[in-house]
Chain A
Amino acid sequence: MRSAAPRLAALAAVAGLLLTACSQSAADQGRGDPGTLLVGGEVEPQTLDLTVTSNASIPSMLLGNVYETLVDRDQKGTVTPGLASSWDIDRDRRRYVFHLRQGVRFGNGDPFTARDVVFSFDRVRAAASRHPFKQQFAAVSDVKARDDHTVEVDLKRPSNLWLLNLSGPVGVILNQRAVGSLADRPVGTGPFTFGRWDRGNQIVLARNDAYWGAKTQFKTVTFRFYNDPNALGNAMLAGELDLITNVPAPQSLPQFRDGGRFRITTGHTNGEVVLGFNDARPALRDRRVRQAITQAIDRAALLKTVWAGYGTLIGSMVPPTDPWYEDLSKRVPYDPAASRRLLDAAGYGGGLKLRFRVPNRPYATQAAQFVADQLGRIGVRVQMEQVEFPGRWLDEVFTKGDYDMTVIMHSEPLDIVQYGNPSYYWHYDNPKVQRELAAADAGTPAEEVAGMREVARTIADDAASCWLWLMPSIQVSARNVTGVPPNVVTGGYDLSSIRKS
């Protein structure tokens, strides 16, 4: 017994040495290889079937990489050709004829034809379809193949948004033979094919050598999943990643600034952080109250405090990557004195009490605390409560409308249309907005831009919501990685411009 302890110690020491012997470990494998790209920052989805759930992390990895759409949107938000090389719109804007690219094949070798488009679109709009974005196809009355490479779509009413939405998850072209395995083996026409999914760990995409467009330099791209922001940062610092596509909080950025090992890229997303009002409450149906709340909040200070100044002040539901963007951030400015006057005029000068139910996400709870503090200064008493997200928030706040105010990021592209939907959880019902939205949707491209600009101004003036800030896209890449796309436009993370030396 007496001699056992030293012997054990020696054994442990040897084992430790063996373990750590090769410091160029397997963890580093791939980091130096220009043929592979190791990506962190995406959230692991529970299924890869983007036709059954609105989970944004699925299109983030697959849209534009494995799946393609008839039309695409570039980094500036402009519509560009995708699987359709061109399209014609007839004079009353109700018939679209898409001319499809020829010689395109799916990852499983099947040729891509007009039949696949009809199949995919009909699958969304079928009576029994439970597609989460079925509404985006509400305007469509008929889809048919004129020949192998021409598709005709008839609309019940003209709709510009329908075409824009085609660049999102609702527009992906599926392979008929592969729809049985959408949940774990997606097949598309994109520059990558689906490789494998090590659940809880990573998803690997492989280069599609038969791709019709420019081929990628990467033989494989691996998306690794981290549930803990600290673990994600450590993996980057330890050299196990080439790129973080989505830094969870800007407060973690300083660790990547030293030594010139990393590059930080910032850009825009579609994620408007919205302070939402429940207009089913009489007090909040009053425009003066909503405006008073909006004017009581110093959004510039909020952004600095809560998100370290990263992000953009917007003032309406439009990100800079939408064609009708203009800076409306000063339209309803911070002005506590005006705010108190408005509250008095509305009859709530004696005090107003609001239930503030906030999802338990860091950005939301931190912003809510700041908001609650500022509202206290104009005499609005805020009763704040954290609500588990998504489950409880979706059930109680979103579906049942049991709240007065909430904060949530709306990350879906083109979600300004929700201000025209009185049954949405804000219960915002303004006929003027509804008319303007319908007119913009039916107009020519020029009328569309002018019309949507009108909508954005109307909801800003009406303080339909208070737009706290636009969530930035923050990425960290290793020095030898270039060309990361700064903005999130369609919801897909497009790998095609990335290079690694």
Chain B
Amino acid sequence: MVWAVLRRTLVMAVTVFAASVVVFAACSALPGDTATVLLGERADPASVAALRHEIGTDRPLAVQYADWATGMLGGDFGTSVVTRRPVWPQIADRLQVTASLVVTGMALAVLLAVPLGVLASRRRIGPLVSVFGQLGMAVPVFVAGILLSYVFAVRLRVLPAGGYAPLGDPYQWVRHMALPALSLGLVQGAVLVRYVRGEVLEVMEKEYIRTALATGRTWWGALWHHGLRNAVVPVLTVIGVQFVVLLSGAVIVEAVFTLPGVGQMLLRAVEGRDLLLVQGVVMILIALVLVINYLVDLLCLAVDPRLRRPA
């Protein structure tokens, strides 16, 4: 167990380092720098050069990278040249919104997918659930968002068409989060349903289930006591992967419902060439994805003792 955990931790650290190099290189390679975009069409070249010198983008790339990376090691993501504010608090502000969205979206998806997936493995309602699954897979997140917004905000006027209320006001938070989370949850849920159904079908064919049924368990009883725990490991892995998909879906949902999340901030930062902010956001997102996968790995280790043996 200890070795397995250690190995996964080391892999994560190396990945973060490699990612930082790639992110920095990609941002530096972008045509058009902060100074040009910030000062705009009327600026004279001397001003642009002076600004470049002030923010240090005229230094060698290796120096800039070292500066940025060592700062991050100490938890300092730098200060945005455009907003004149430190990068980390800006990201933290927005992360609250995106995290709310992704977590509630995923929760809805799981709440929807697990019962439906189990039901779908029963012959009678299976086809009905499959239709939902197919529909959900076919409909892009933004279409779901636009439809929900049109029905509930424009036509029925029962929920806001957009905007965000902080967690401090739970009632408003739920109202503003309902449609965005539902857009994500419905689409993600549809994807998950198929996996849950597949896993349940496979597990219920196993010998130990046959034995359980032979000892007089009902189908549901066998599933509950013996099947689910085995079916859950692959589903957990898929949920881990889907979290990443959900993050990118969140960028779109944020635009449709004008949520001030990380995704929208990232788009604007790229547009304004606020490179330190771009790099900071991307690093945080990468770290998040890695941490989620890491946690899923650990969770799988906890659920399934067979995985703890060295490969």
List B residues 103-152 near A (Cβ within 8 Å).
111, 115, 119, 146, 149-150, 152
- Contacting residues of chain A (26-63) with chain B, CB-CB under 8 angstroms: 26-28, 44, 46-47, 49, 52-55
How many interface contacts (CB-CB < 8 Å) are there between A and B? 179
Residue of B nearest to A48 (CB): B83
Within the complex, which residue of B154, B162, B178, B269 is in contact with A226, where a contact is CB–CB below 8 Å?
Answer: B162
Q: Does A384 contact B (CB under 8 A)?
A: no
User: What 0/1 pattern do residues 383 to 414 of A give for CB contact below 8 A with B?
Assistant: 00000101111111011000000000000100
Of A134, A184, A228, which one neighbours B255 at CB under 8 angstroms?
Answer: A228
Q: Which of A141-149, A232-240, A307-315 contacts B (4 or more CB under 8 A)?
A: A232-240
Interface residues in B31-71 by Cβ distance below 8 A to A read 31-33, 36-44, 47, 50-51
Contact (Cβ within 8 A) A5 B161: no
Q: Quick check: is A200 within 8 A (CB to CB) of the other chain?
A: yes
Write out the residue numbers on chain A whose beta carbons fall within 8 Å of the beta carbon of B175. 19, 25-26
Q: Is the CB of A201 within 8 A of B42?
A: no
Binds A, one of B186-194, B202-210, B257-265, B280-288: B257-265
> Closest residue to B270 on the A side, CB-wise?
A391
Q: A130-B43, A199-B93, A391-B271 are in contact. Are A238 and B157 (CB under 8 A)?
A: yes
The verdict on A8 contacting chain B, using a C-beta distance below 8 Å, is yes
Q: Is the CB of B273 within 8 A of A230?
A: no
Judged by a CB distance under 8 angstroms, whether B272 is at the interface is: yes
- Further pairs besides A28-B157, A46-B274, A199-B90: 14, Cβ < 8 Å: A23-B158, A25-B157, A27-B160, A27-B161, A46-B82, A136-B42, A184-B84, A198-B260, A200-B97, A200-B264, A234-B153, A237-B154, A395-B36, A396-B32
A132 to B119, CA, bound (A): 64
Tell me the bound Cα distance from A231 to B146 in angstroms: 8
Chain A residue numbers with a CB within 8 Å of B94 are: 199-200
What are 28 inter-chain pairs, A to B, with CB distance below 8 A?
A2-B220, A19-B158, A20-B152, A25-B159, A27-B153, A46-B268, A46-B274, A53-B82, A134-B47, A184-B83, A184-B85, A199-B90, A199-B260, A226-B258, A228-B255, A231-B161, A231-B162, A238-B153, A239-B157, A240-B163, A391-B30, A391-B36, A391-B37, A392-B31, A393-B32, A394-B36, A394-B37, A395-B32
CA distance A214 to B68 in the complex (A): 51
Flag whether A1 is at the interface (Cβ < 8 A).
yes
> How many whole Å from B85's CB to the nearest CB in chain A?
8
CB pair A53–B160 under 8 Å, yes or no, is no
B164 contacts A by Cβ under 8 Å: yes
Q: Is B242 an interface residue (CB 8 A)?
A: no
- Residues in A lying within 8 Å of B, measured CB to CB: 1-2, 4-5, 8, 19-20, 23, 25-28, 44, 46-47, 49, 52-55, 128-136, 183-184, 198-201, 224-228, 230-231, 234-235, 237-240, 388, 390-396, 398-399, 412
A132-B40, A231-B258 as given contacts; A47 in contact with B83, CB under 8 Å:
yes
Task: Assess whether B3 is interfacial by the CB under 8 Å rule.
Answer: no
Chain A residues whose C-beta falls within 8 Å of the C-beta of B82 in the assembled complex = 46-47, 53
Interface size on B, residues (CB 8 A): 67
B33 x A234 contact (CB < 8 A) = no
A44 neighbours in B (Cβ, 8 Å): 268
- Asked whether A391 lies within 8 Å of B115 as measured between CB atoms, the reply is no
Residues of A within 8 A of B154 (CB): 234, 237-238
Contact between A46 and B255 (Cβ–Cβ < 8 Å)? Answer: no
| Contacts A20-B159, A227-B258 given; does A234 touch B47 at CB 8 Å | no
**B161 adjacent to A53 (CB under 8 Å):** no
Bound state CA distance, A227 and B269, in angstroms?
Answer: 13
CB of B34 to closest CB in A, whole Å: 9
For A46, the chain B residues whose CB sits under 8 A away are: 80, 82-83, 268-269, 272, 274
Among B30, B146, B258, B259, max chain A CB count under 10 A is at B258
**Contact B32–A225 (Cβ < 8 Å):** no
Q: Does chain A have a CB within 8 A of B303?
A: no
Chain A residues with CB under 8 Å of B30's CB are 391-392
List the B side residues contacting A128 at CB < 8 Å: 50
Q: What mask results when residues 7 to 44 of chain B are scored 1 for a CB within 8 Å of chain A, else 0?
A: 00000000000000000000000111100111111111
Q: Is the CB of A201 within 8 A of B40?
A: no
With both beta carbons as reference points, the residue of chain A lying nearest to B166 in the complex is identified as: A198
Q: Which residues of B contact A224 (CB under 8 A)?
A: 163, 258
A25 touches B220 (CB 8 A): no
A396 in contact with B153 (CB, 8 Å):
no
- Nearest-neighbour CB distance to chain B for A184, whole angstroms, equals 8
User: B47: nearest residue on chain A (CB-CB)?
Assistant: A130
Kindly list chain A residues whose C-beta atoms are within 8 Å of the C-beta of B156: 20, 23
Pair B265/A231 contact, Cβ less than 8 Å:
no
